[in-house]
Chain A
């Protein structure tokens, strides 16, 4: 019966819809946690990190190399992938953060684009496309599966979704209830005044760079498994969907970012069964971001004032 209803409403058999929901939620989870990582860094430093995906991709390639070319344990490769994200992001923040601190947000953002391009170039150099065979970075969790209403689910997909929710909860609590979280919020309001109050701004910012980088590394570890192959270009452009999620949250709300990420993932997956629009699925992040921004700002009144000189 549900199959008939689904076919009548959606034009697709319910049996075919179920796997797309699972795929969409899992991918949406990664978009959401990436979005949260981007928003937290933006809040603390004013930097919109366009290198988020590239950092995760580079970490994933290192993990791939460790697993396939050394006898080191796999867990070490996974830890390295996550740690690489934290270290690279931290290094960038320490070296370029102070220099960019007083610059326009657009300049700060373009600086991270430079980092993304450097990492992309390094990956293309050390791990060129081609070479005849695809790269895989499977996690042990993906070999354990179960079914929900007849849809195949593996534990990596569960981890992606649960991790996104957990990260949002923990980060929200962290920002609200810890001294460091309060410092983040203070810096977001006014960096200079916060500094004059004795808050070690650089150290606080460094912690944001490091934490956000760890999330980038985790996303880089999860995504190759969810996408079934390690394509560093695809991982690098993960930042697009993550940015859409962050924009839906207006770079402020972690919970709306979480929902935005899940919505982007679901939209991309649920358009797949429709032959007429499936090839436009990649536009889903932008369309959703624009619709959400229009909806969220519908009651705002635009005022134009002239500042007296």
Chain B
């Protein structure tokens, strides 16, 4: 009896030992796998922050962000990916040893909530910087507050104030300029008219530039505001077709929450080939390309960012790795926005000499210029003391093919139908903001 107990005891001990050895061996195996974003940065390799591969410790540096989440539009992806980038930075030495703590709040298109959250971030949470903000109206609500507090927000914008005020700098070009790019592509493709459909909240701003492009080309242009969430996509698509007419051009300016319903409706009603379809940036993603095979070769999607393919360059490769390791988010334009917001603010943080405070960080942000990345056509910048910023004003046209997003037109300049774009290009030359030198 005793011997039986002994045998059982030995077996149990052996099992525990075996498990421990296996665990140790597995741990050892992990150590041989390089940490995502680690290594030495070069022309062909991007790293997260310092790229040391060592976890940052110590007192965190707080960065905050505000993302809009309403039925039909989820902008929180941008902040989530910015957080993923900061997590990667934290796993690679942080900001000279200190981790970044990213605080992301959601808002529901509510100005009072937007104002309260900005104040909470700055005054209660004591963040040193605001990064990754994206909303239909938050720029308009808070830009004066950020300016008064000396903050320069690095985010992804939608409305006019995101591109027309001194305290906000966006990594994207927003719907107005993206729609201009889509309209340029459709005009080049021979569209007989341009109809732009945007969410009613932003249509007045977002659609105007594309209509100017149509007018400059001597064809009719019309804006069709759409109330979100879309509950009757078939009718809306018919309205768009009715406005554009056969051979006309329709630009869909919606996020991946809403655009698919309209595209499915166009499919169901046999309208794909009756007009030329354009879009602003958000639907340039592989997930949708895989779902909409019938649209292969038939789309003119303006993309403010490069292709989501590893061959695009080192930043894109790193972003794909970061998404895989730190999130469950599919590669998409919103991920590129979040990645760039995280990367550019990290550069500003690393450039700070001395203590990282709100004052020193935002001063560092203002000095950013000629930041190279393969995700956009020209180097990105902030530019000290500019009254407004449109650093991303070149883009490409992409299409779907075999479940992938493919290049249709190489980098081209957004038509300067707005005087702000023309003025921006003057500043870029004068202050050498994106010359790459």
| Interface residues in chain A, defined as those with a beta carbon under 8 Å from any beta carbon in chain B | 12-13, 16, 19-20, 23, 129-134, 136, 138, 142, 145, 152, 154, 226-229, 231, 233-234, 268-269, 272-273, 278-279, 281
Q: Let me know if B71 and A129 touch, CB within 8 A.
A: yes
Which residues on B sit within 8 Å (CB–CB) of A12? 242
Are the CB atoms of A145 and B270 closer together than 8 Å? yes
Across-interface contacts of A19 in B (CB, < 8 A): 234, 238, 269
Q: How far is the CA of A138 from the CA of B73 in the complex (A)?
A: 22
Sorted nearest first, the 6 A-B pairs with minimum C-beta distance are A130-B74, A229-B261, A234-B231, A228-B264, A134-B260, A228-B233
**Given A130-B73, A130-B76, A234-B229, 12 new contacts (CB under 8 A):** A16-B242, A129-B70, A130-B257, A132-B255, A132-B332, A227-B234, A227-B261, A229-B260, A231-B230, A233-B231, A234-B231, A273-B242
- A134 and B258 form a contact (CB under 8 A): yes
Which residues of A lie under 8 Å from residue B270 when comparing CB positions? 145, 152
Partner of B334, one of A132, A226, A268: A132
> Which A residues touch B330, using CB under 8 A?
132
Contact across chains for A233 and B269 when beta carbons are under 8 A apart:
no
Q: Which residues of A contact B77 (CB under 8 A)?
A: 132
The answer to whether B257 touches A132, judged by C-beta atoms less than 8 angstroms apart, is yes
Residue tally, chain B, CB below 8 Å to A: 39
Alpha-carbon separation in the docked complex, A12 to B227 (Å): 23
> Is B18 at the interface (CB under 8 A from chain A)?
no
Interchain CB contact (< 8 A) of B238 among A23, A268, A279: A23
Given A132-B256, A134-B260, A272-B239, answer yes or no on A142-B232 (Cβ-Cβ < 8 Å). no
Q: Is B287 an interface residue (CB 8 A)?
A: yes
Tell whether, in the assembled complex, residue A228 and residue B234 are in contact, meaning their CB atoms are under 8 Å apart.
Answer: yes
B234's closest neighbor in chain A, by CB?
Answer: A23
Shortest Cβ gap from B73 to chain A (Å):
7
Contact status A133-B256, CB under 8 Å: yes
B265 interface contact, C-beta 8 A:
yes
**A134 near B74 (CB under 8 angstroms)?**
no
User: In angstroms, how far is the closest chain A Cβ from the Cβ of B133?
Assistant: 17
Q: Is B268 positioned at the interface, with any CB of A under 8 Å from its CB?
A: yes
Inter-subunit contact B268/A154 (CB<8 Å): yes
Min distance, Cβ B413 to any Cβ of chain A, angstroms: 30
Contact with A along B260-288 (1 / 0, CB 8 A): 11101100111000000000000000011
* Shortest beta-carbon distance from B252 to chain A in Å: 13
When the two chains form their complex, are residues A227 and B233 in contact, meaning their CB atoms are under 8 A apart?
yes
Complex-state Cα separation, A281 to B239, whole angstroms: 13
